[in-house]
């Protein structure tokens, strides 16, 4: 009886609520984005719209601080464009944009979540303990990025992929230098190994956040390697989008 009622409620909900749309602010890249990547529309459970921010090269964004003013204005313009196109929530493909979270959130009227690092308060409440972070660049994830996410260095443990050539030479270089293909199996193995070493070195880890929007395709490898909950921007976007569901016309 409960199951039947649930089915009836689902059918009623589907007929009265439009599926929300996720807006994606994407860095300007040319490397392939497999399903699961924050920049691939097929990664999401609902409609998406993508705005590539021209000139937003990885080296300009993956840094311990805000992007330059001109670049921030480009992101603001892209966010407003997504909102005008009907986006109900806005996310991004790079977790280092957490430093611009407040500014971009003020530029539109829909919910904005630029980085999985902003999930840190939720992770700390639901899984007390040290938070593990897998990031595109450990050397760039410094005090300014952590502070923007409400984190202190003492309460996190960090591993980066910036010493993995297959990842670094695909993701962390300028657009002109990015390859047309990369070996996903090599990256998946490296992500799993980094996660396992992080958990081994820090047995007090309670959960792992994937900072980088290119890492969610390998979330299953991280869970298998650590037996810990894994949080990332794609799952967060799908959940957040429900807050923007609109009545059907």
Q: What is the pLDDT of residues 171-205, one digit of tens each?
A: 999 999 999 999 999 999 999 999 999 999 999 99
Q: Which residues does the chain have with pLDDT short of 50?
A: 1-13, 247, 249
| Per-residue model confidence (pLDDT) at position 242 | 83
CA distance 126 to 115: 18
* Per-residue model confidence as pLDDT tens digits over 62-71: 999 999 999 9
Residue the block writes with tokens 């990256």:
187
| Per-residue model confidence (pLDDT) at position 19 | 85
Dihedrals φ, ψ of 172, to 5°? -100, 10
- Which among 184, 191, 188, 212 has a CA at the least distance from the CA of 92? 212
CA distance 66 to 161: 21
Q: Tell me the H-state helices in the chain.
A: 2-16, 58-61, 69-84, 101-106, 120-126, 143-148, 165-171, 184-201, 219-226, 233-240
Strand order in the sheet with 89-92: 48-52, 22-26, 89-92, 112-113
Sign of the C-alpha dihedral computed for residues 171, 181, 81 and 247 taken in this order:
negative
| Per-residue model confidence (pLDDT) at position 243 | 79
Strand order in the sheet with 205-210: 156-160, 130-135, 205-210, 230-231
CA distance 152 to 143: 8
- Coil, helix or strand for 246? strand
Structure tokens at 198: 């992080």
CA distance 231 to 166: 23
Strands 156-160 and 205-210: what pairing? unpaired
CA distance 208 to 127: 10
Residue the block writes with tokens 């992500």:
191
Residue the block writes with tokens 């938070």:
131
| Per-residue model confidence (pLDDT) at position 244 | 66
| Per-residue model confidence (pLDDT) at position 201 | 97
| Per-residue model confidence (pLDDT) at position 18 | 79
Residue the block writes with tokens 């991004």:
92
């Amino acid at each position: 009886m409960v199951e039947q009622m649930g089915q009836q409620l689902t059918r009623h909900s589907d007929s009265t609520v439009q599926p929300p749309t996720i807006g994606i602010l994407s860095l300007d890249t040319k490397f392939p984005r497999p399903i699961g990547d924050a920049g691939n529309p097929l990664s999401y459970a609902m409609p998406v719209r993508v705005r590539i921010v021209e000139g937003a090269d990885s080296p300009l964004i993956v840094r311990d601080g805000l992007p330059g003013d001109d670049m921030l204005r480009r992101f603001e313009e892209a966010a407003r464009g997504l909102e005008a196109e009907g986006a109900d929530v806005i996310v991004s493909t790079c977790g280092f944009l957490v430093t611009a979270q407040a500014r971009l959130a003020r530029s539109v009227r829909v919910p904005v979540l630029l980085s999985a690092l902003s999930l840190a308060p939720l992770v700390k409440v639901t899984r007390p303990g040290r938070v593990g972070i897998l990031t595109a660049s450990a050397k760039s994830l410094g005090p300014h990025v952590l502070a923007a996410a409400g984190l202190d260095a003492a309460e996190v443990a960090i591993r980066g992929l910036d010493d993995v050539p297959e990842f670094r030479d695909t993701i962390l270089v300028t657009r002109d230098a990015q390859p047309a293909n990369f070996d996903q199996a090599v990256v998946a193995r490296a992500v799993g190994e980094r996660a396992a070493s992080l958990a081994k070195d820090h047995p007090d880890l309670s959960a792992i956040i994937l900072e980088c929007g290119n890492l969610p395709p390998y979330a299953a490898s991280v869970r298998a390697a650590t037996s810990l909950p894994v949080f990332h921007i794609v799952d967060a976007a799908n959940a957040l989008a429900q807050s923007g569901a609109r009545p059907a016309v």
